[in-house]
Structure 1
């Protein structure tokens, strides 16, 4: 199974105009380097700790317990009750996404709101081919109205998730524009069937930024959007500048001046991920994946238990499906090694979301037996993170 993500707390980008014109295969226009700001998802209804954990489990094939599903519903119910007392109509957000990505596809351009995910390698979208029962409320890509679309004969994709739900469809090539950059012949995977949990969310699909080797299109895997534009950039890399409760950005092709004293670690991309070796004083040595498509930090039972032993009153709550603690508790920092140095994730970022009864849900949770840790947005927000495909390395520059 190739994992895929619709991770929470993702970036969204400012939309740029697309000049109409004929699509030329394998042609890319690029300014060399550019920055794309993110903006909020207006449909975001609030952080849901159990949901963020369950979505990470589903992505990587870890079973989701009944109690965790029930905890998700409890948090959603509390959010809806709270919002019903104000002037905002509450809309359940099945994906718990705080940020989405406006991306333009086709000629003339059709704008869809997608996730950018370094933990997967497919660009797939809700479309006019999607079962109408699943596509309600989504912006749709309609290849029949795009003069630059071309169907890839015999190509299909089928992604199966850990709960055995799936998304599948056929494949087109078309113009795809993000920010000031256009790929004129990008594989766009058009969904025909979409599982219920994603149909209920606000996102219209995703843009995978992992390595093309795990793209799920058959019989011939397709290049990711980033792999198509990497050679035209000043440097074949991008930098995630995610921030806490304030807009951040992605920078493509250059490293911003604010990213100083960068610590680098070689990437093992044999499984298609941005995976590197690290260590911490609470968990020894281990491998980790830098994943913008996951919200939380997931790690071994031993590491997580060791961390929360430092937190008075913290406990593994079966009803919440994870570790909780008093919301007024000051959490310790979490530190991990990168190369010859160390990155610190402030304890304030690890206090993720209210869990009821004056308790909060932790941003570090057990990985469910995975052979690697997952460093999601909570870890990524502590640094400028460099995804360097040219040198096959990941860099972390501590934010002040």
Structure 2
């Protein structure tokens, strides 16, 4: 039996927690359970996922130019396709392609499941997910927003601010975009929105409507501008905010600097010994790289057969094999294990960098330190 290799040409696709310190809170993350392995017949579905990612980054680069007046340094010249601490459990949704957790907006609180995304900045929800008329603390900013998604759907609507809480942390006047149309597909249930954790320079919202974590920092709701993703293939995934949960990792933390002016979390790394520049993106279900670089990687891995499937380059391996793909940050190596490898493809990316999505996050506990402009990587406990 052959398994599609979670790596891709231009896309390294991946179908690829314990006692809390006093005063800490965690947001559980969860996903819908997988209904089976990928097959070579699912190329069309995979292509749709890739297109979504291209549109996402094209929009982010447009936002960066609008907010800063300059082209993003990672953008290629190719034509584009346009309390103190808290933790939240994450839910596995859509066959492992999405991780969601709970937030609350309004007074009284309205609970919403959302996708926490380090590759975007705004909080947007489907109509009906949030009712401003039922909240005594809701404020209509009279500002509108517009986003486009990879399947052609647009999210247009109005920006409100309201009381907000997440895993025991509370804030006021946090921005939420209420869409007029369903831009989150029903297959992603219970997810009803996206909440960005990147820098404000790539946000669609006006500058006064900052990403929710920046608002919590500004209001002193967290003592440290740090959050930590620990995504597991099974249960126990979480997003920890306001500090570092040492129970989620073992050994030491390796730190790598990032430049906040980039908008994204950009860090230098290597993959199977080749130096690359990466974007850490919890909202992407794949690992994606420039086509030539990914093709070279696939061809260099023992046990991987590279072929053309419906015009897309695929890497496949026997289920009895264990292809070796190692990602290294600082001095620490994180192998992508057999269950993280699933499929590959090629596409024109709008950037000169690799996107490290969920398959990598399932291999490490990743810490985002906005106070010191650094990223931490540690082995999961």
Q: Report the Cα offset of residue 285 of structure 1.
A: 2.6
1:81 aligned residue? none
1:273 aligned residue? 264
For 1:110 and 1:312, the matched residues in 2 are separated by 50
Maintained 8 Å contact 2:304/2:316: yes
Match of 1:374 among 346, 355, 358: 355
Q: Does 1:211 align with 2:208?
A: no
Q: Report the Cα offset of residue 150 of structure 1.
A: 0.8
Q: Does 1:125 align with 2:112?
A: no
Listed as ranges, the gaps of 5+ residues in structure 1 are 1-6, 10-30, 65-92, 129-139, 353-360
Relative to structure 1, is the Cα distance of residues 108 and 321 closer, same or farther in structure 2, using a 3 angstrom cutoff?
farther
Q: Does 1:223 align with 2:210?
A: yes
Match of 1:292 among 282, 295, 316: 282
Match of 1:184 among 172, 191, 201: 172
2:328 aligned residue? 337
For 1:8 and 1:328, the matched residues in 2 are separated by 16
Q: Does 1:149 align with 2:170?
A: no
For 1:327 and 1:57, the matched residues in 2 are separated by 30
For 1:270 and 1:193, the matched residues in 2 are separated by 32
Match of 2:261, SS? coil
Maintained 8 Å contact 2:103/2:112: yes
Match of 2:236 among 239, 244, 247: 247
Maintained 8 Å contact 1:175/1:183: yes
- The total of aligned residue pairs comes to 320
For 1:97 and 1:325, the matched residues in 2 are separated by 20
Maintained 8 Å contact 2:118/2:281: yes
Maintained 8 Å contact 2:35/2:95: no
Q: Normalised by the size of structure 1, how large is the TM-score?
A: 0.71
Match of 2:141, SS? strand
Q: Which has the higher contact order (CA 8 A, sep 6+)?
A: 2
Relative to structure 1, is the Cα distance of residues 253 and 325 closer, same or farther in structure 2, using a 3 angstrom cutoff?
same
Match of 2:180, SS? strand
For 2:228 and 2:201, the matched residues in 1 are separated by 21
For 1:302 and 1:172, the matched residues in 2 are separated by 44
Relative to structure 1, is the Cα distance of residues 148 and 256 closer, same or farther in structure 2, using a 3 angstrom cutoff?
same
Maintained 8 Å contact 1:315/1:323: yes
Listed as ranges, the gaps of 5+ residues in structure 2 are 1-12, 16-21, 39-44, 59-79, 83-92
2:109 aligned residue? 109
For 2:259 and 2:338, the matched residues in 1 are separated by 30
1:58 aligned residue? 55
Match of 1:262, SS? strand
Q: Report the Cα offset of residue 163 of structure 1.
A: 5.7
Q: Does 1:351 align with 2:338?
A: no
1:391 aligned residue? 372
1:233 aligned residue? 222
Match of 1:60, SS? helix
For 1:117 and 1:32, the matched residues in 2 are separated by 25
For 2:98 and 2:204, the matched residues in 1 are separated by 26
Match of 2:244, SS? coil
Match of 2:155 among 146, 167, 170: 167
Relative to structure 1, is the Cα distance of residues 178 and 46 closer, same or farther in structure 2, using a 3 angstrom cutoff?
farther
Alignment of 1:133-144 (within 5 A): 140-144=129-133
Relative to structure 1, is the Cα distance of residues 213 and 297 closer, same or farther in structure 2, using a 3 angstrom cutoff?
same
Q: Report the Cα offset of residue 162 of structure 1.
A: 5.0
Match of 2:252, SS? coil
For 1:278 and 1:269, the matched residues in 2 are separated by 17
Between 1:301-310 and 1:379-388, the stretch displaced more is 301-310
Match of 2:308 among 317, 324, 330: 317
Q: Report the Cα offset of residue 213 of structure 1.
A: 2.2
